[in-house]
Structures are given as structure tokens and as C-alpha cells.
Structure 1
């Protein structure tokens, strides 16, 4: 993992930290999106009692490289993620995959992040880079994965992330 980020206030970006603490069943300690029920404003407006399947946002740093090639400058935390990874095929994981992060923490992948128009306020243009369509016209989301915390612990940049796949058959990720 290359960076960890959190923010106690609603903001599109999240400042990088020396470490973050993942709390089982809640999310990132002190982060505005931590909690048992949904915290994302649009989802709270729909139904504030929904379970929070978006406790921890993990994004692949390789996306920043691709955005850079398209002329955008994006750094860790700037797309609102909590954990920035490198070398893990996040988008290819199935629902229920476990990410072991650092010495103790475990998060369970619940689905794909569905980026919203706020990304255009951060920098005009990248929304079309992170959400598009494949050759069959299906929507393709590339802005990382959302997860819930199964086992807590302190995580830091440089900590390893290992993947444990669930028993099959595997369900492909969809937006959460």
C-alpha cells in the first residue's frame, strides 16, 4: 500500500496520514464515512438505515498513472479514498474477497465505487476517465472498491495487502 487517508469532515479529498486505524464493523476511526449505517449524503437522503457497505474506499494507484497519461494530476487521497494500493487487481476481485492489510486489519470487498459528479469539481474531466462503457455498452467503473472492516488494526503506507478469495462461485463486483 502506498498511502492511507482520512477526513473527519465532508470533503471530496482526504489528507494523507502516517497511519489510520480500522475499526471492525465501523470503518476508519475519525473518518466522516465511518459507521454501521450509510454516511454518504445521497444515500442517507434515500434511506439512513441502510447498512454501510462503503466503510473503507480502496483505490488502485495505477489509476493515477492512467489519469496522468490523460493529462490529469491526481495524488493519493485526492479522490476520497482511504487506502491507496499498488499491484493488486482490485477491479478484478469478486464480492466477498478479503484484503488483509498490514499485520491485523481485514476488509471485505463489497463492490465498486460509483464516482459522482463531485469529481468534476475537484478537476474538470476525470469522470469520463473513471466511468465509461465497454464494447457491449455496459458501464465500467474504475474508481476503486468499497469494503467493510472485518478485523480492525492500524495500517500504514508500506504495509502489505494480500488477497483471499471467497469460495466460489464468485459474484462480479457491481456498484455499492
Structure 2
């Protein structure tokens, strides 16, 4: 758990926006929800969901998948969006689980967004991390990203392409032009 905190800190932290803060429910009985839904989630994941649920990275953070992703370029990098949390509304773990139960096999637990519409999931059987591509055919859209949650977090890094775009933008809007 300390490893995840250190990695998030090294990546430039995460932010709980004002709008999302209203949806986060620190009093939600996640233990009861886990038991009543027969979920098998690691302590590392529980820590992540409680501490960083509803958060987004402050920087443009990407991960490199073990499997080739259909949405990734030659570098096989993909962005991570919001980390879902326990609470209310569209970014809650409970609502997203309910939305995707008929599209993603039941033993996969959605925990974060990749590209809009795509989901990052934990396989509850082996605790490996998968990417679900929402435009794929039924039962063909899961791609292995990492062998564990910690391995997934170790694969996160600043998008090398975002630095190029920032430099171009600075140059374009400089006073020299």
C-alpha cells in the first residue's frame, strides 16, 4: 500500500476535484458491499479505492500494457482516467460495476477509466489487471495490462508525447511571435 502512495506521489499526485468530492462517500459501507456481492478484492485495491477513489492524476499519465491494445499506437501506451471510488453518481464503483456487468465477465471488477468508454479491471480470480475495450465483440475485449495492481502502478509514467505538445504550445504562444 505504501508502494502505491509513493508511486502516485512520484507521478505528481492526484486531485479530487470539487465536483467529484461531492460524490465521494467516506462513510459508504464498502465491506458490506464487497461481502454481499461476493467480491474478492486485495487489500492493496481497497486502500487505492478508499484513498484515491474519485481522483484523477494531475499530469498526463499513461501505462504500457503487456498485451497489444487496439487503441494504442506503436508504443502501446494508454492513458488512465478517473480512479473510481465508493460513493454516489456516475463515477462510483457500484454504479460502474452495475453498468458493465452485462458487458464484462462477472469476475472482472471495474476500477478506473482508460480512454472514454474503456475500463480498467481487476480479475478477481488471479488479481491481474485487464483493459476492456468497449468497441470489441462480446467476450473479446479484455487485454492483459499487468500481472498485479502493484505492477500496474509501477508501469505508470508521464506521457512522453505530452511534453512535446507542451513545448510546441509554449513556442507557439511565446512573445517572440
Q: What's the TM-score, normalizing by structure 1?
A: 0.26
- Give TM-score scaled by structure 2 length: 0.25
The higher-RCO structure (CA 8 Å, 6+ apart) is 1
Q: Which has the larger radius of gyration?
A: 2
More helix by share: 2
